[in-house]
Amino acid sequence: MQETSQEAASNAAAPANAASDAKNERRVSRESYSIFFSQTDHLKALLAEQKFDDAAKLYDEQEAYFTSERGISRAGDMIGQVGRQQRDAWETDLSAALQALSAERALSDRAQWPALREAVGKAETAVQAKAASKLLRRPEFLPPSLAPTRTALEGMRERLRQQAVESFLAHDHGGGSFLTAYPIDLPAGEFLQANWQALQARHTQAPATALAAIAKAYPELGATERDTLTAALISRRMAEAGSDIKGALNAVAFAREHGLQPKAIPGFKVAFVQATSRTLLSKGQIDFPAAVEVDLPVANTYSELEAALSGAGADAPRYVMVFDVAAAKASRRVIGSTPMPSRTVIGYRPVPNPAYKSAELDLQKAELDMRGLAGDKAAAQINSATCYGLGCLGALVGQAAVIASENNIKGKIATAMETLRNTPQTIEEPIYRSYSFTRAEVRATKIMTVNYHIIDLHERKHFKSTFDVVERRSLQVAYNVDPADPQREAHIAAFTKEEELQEWEIAPQPVRLSQLMRQYMEATEQTKPLADLAALRAEMTADRAQALAKLADEPEQRPLNDPRFDHVVKVYRGGKGGHGSGFFVSSDVVLTNWHVVDGTQFVELMGYDKQESFGRVIAQDIRLDLALVRVQSRGKPVRFYSGRQLDLGRTVEAIGHPQGLDFSVTRGVVSAVRPMPNINLRGSGGSGKDVLYVQTDTAVNPGNSGGPLFLGDRVVGVNTWGRNDATGLNFSVHYSEVLNFLKENLPGFTPAMN
């Protein structure tokens, strides 16, 4: 209870006249005693009820009063009684805590930690229990065991801090967190970071379960430490369960089960290769591609088959995954339709404009106001002319008001007239016609069949399988919505848009890597030794042949009246993109330009029968711009011209694939036979002697490079280059240069001649 105002006033005057205070106090009647209840009375009442803790709190709250001369004179004995009681009670707790701290215990003995934590906690509680009390901070009331207990507590804390690292490293983390079990609290993040490397070193050979226990026990681990622990767990688990795909997936699943998110699998790198038939792609048989969803923590890259399989070094992939999409078709079926009533605008008709009528009324009102003001203006002028004395002042005020009103009305009239001028008398009102658009019930389907290969380069193993993906959607699409329908956008927005459906139909179909790997694990008995790249390509070629066979029911686009087309192939430039032409010079060797195959060892080819094959570059001459490719499949070799002279003006024809227009034939004449500098080594100082070319005006464009130039059914040149700054100036390597190149690089080669 607070002091009364009278007692507060007395305190302010103390100790001016203590005798006067005593006299005033005696004047208080018994009836008024309950009203002027002092802090002294409050303390006395608390002691009477033995509420010593409340009495100590009262002292803390009213310390200024109880330490004043008046407070000491009136309550000194009671304050002493409270202080001694509080000191004795505190001393009891401190003595018990000091005794508990002083007991002999082995700090490294984990069995002693619960009792030691209890003792430390008890001592901390005892030391802090009444430390904030202003009363007990007075020297006469300090308990004798306070200082020894503080010293013992700090000493125990220091000993435990010094013992913490050793105990942490020796702790069985599978039994729970060291931080919660240890007798004193440690800064979790800071402590773990400081001792993380030592803990790692202690658990270098620990089983994966022990590492998982550490992860579970310490959610306080920082991101760096957790990533390091995860990597160590993955490595250890793979060492226990195997380092192949099965072991890797097992390790990832184990880590995730224990709350860890691995970011990488050591030594587990995958190269993805897209090997879908170019013929299927060019013929539009593949409506959408496959997209690998890498949902495993593996390093991955996208590569060409040759580069992926020939990789070496630390960055080389462990696994090569080859995707060959055999079929990917999107289809839709309209299984029902509903007419949806709406209306469309078919024209407009003029109707009176309500805004024009409103503007007319505003102008008329303003003009009426002006007429009404004319009378007021005349009256004001009369008053001004006939006024006397002070009456003139009122007349002038009235006249000024009339002038102000006149100006205001003039402004309204001007505004109304301007509005009227800018408002058309009629507006165009739309004429509507009812119609119905179609709400179609569409069932859309995407079906994909993919042949895929998983190649383990470390184990030299090969796995081949096929998976099918089917995705269906049922949706509603609005068709035939009239462009003049005022609700057109709302109608279209209420259903799936045609554009959205088309985007879904061509969108890559995701395939999760984990699913493929799991399928591989379930059929490991199908894994075979990897013989060589040629055998793998042959197997892939066979798969493509099956896919291409499905195109047999298409209309025949291959004319059968010109056997020269059977000699020619299309040569794809692999990872560099683009394509060129080539032709068989023996049953398994194709001749093409060097610049078509430049920079690659393996190429892909397609014959006139749409069959695809692979080939390996076996010889090349940059000066002549010629290269030889040995092909897995077999073809029909060309016949070469054997005459010593090539007459000018003779009709010649080129067969190739200009601008991607496969197997096109163009015609021209022999313009000249002339030696010229080669096109690949110009200005290098080492280009050698000139190359003999056949100059022709036969149309040759990008895509014709490497293809044959025929004189009748005999080859007289290899189409190579043309002048960009002129028309009809194209050049083919002369057949004599070609024959010399073939004899040098194909031992025993005998060309088919006349």
Query: DSSP per residue over 645-711, as a string?
Result: ---TT-EEEEEE-GGG--SEEEEEEEEEEEEE--SSSTTSS---SPEEEEEE-S---TT-TT-EEEE
CA–CA separation, 624 and 33 (whole Å): 128
Q: Which residue(s) pair with 592 in the sheet?
A: 582, 627
**pLDDT at residue 560, as a whole number:** 54
Task: Please give the helix or strand (H or E) that residue 490 lies within, else none.
Answer: helix 488-493
What pLDDT digit, counting tens, does each position of 253-264 carry? 899 998 899 988
The Cβ of residue 703 has, within 10 Å, a number of other Cβ atoms equal to 23
**pLDDT at residue 392, as a whole number:** 58
Find the angle CA(320)-CA(321)-CA(327) to the nearest 5 degrees: 155
**pLDDT at residue 7, as a whole number:** 41
**pLDDT at residue 77, as a whole number:** 93
**pLDDT at residue 29, as a whole number:** 36
**pLDDT at residue 387, as a whole number:** 58
Query: What pTM did the predictor assign?
Result: 0.53
For 459, the token pair is: 């184990």
**pLDDT at residue 203, as a whole number:** 87
What pLDDT digit, counting tens, does each position of 320-354 carry? 888 888 888 888 887 788 899 999 999 999 999 99
What is the length of the chain?
Answer: 754
CA–CA separation, 731 and 714 (whole Å): 17
**pLDDT at residue 547, as a whole number:** 61
CA–CA separation, 673 and 88 (whole Å): 125
Spans of the chain below 50 pLDDT: 1-35, 390, 552-556, 684-686
Give the three-state DSSP class for 328.
Answer: strand
Q: Residues near 509 by Cβ (< 8 Å), separated by ≥ 6?
A: 288, 289, 290, 291, 328, 446, 448, 469, 471
**pLDDT at residue 396, as a whole number:** 56
**pLDDT at residue 716, as a whole number:** 95
Q: In which residue are the tokens 């240069």 written?
A: 737
Closest by Cα among 258, 251, 254 to 298: 251
**pLDDT at residue 516, as a whole number:** 82
| End-to-end Cα, the chain, rounded Å | 131
Give alpha helix (H) positions in 566-614: 594-597
Q: Which fold has domain 555-745?
A: Thrombin, subunit H (2.40.10)
Phi, psi of 498 (to 5 degrees): -60, -40
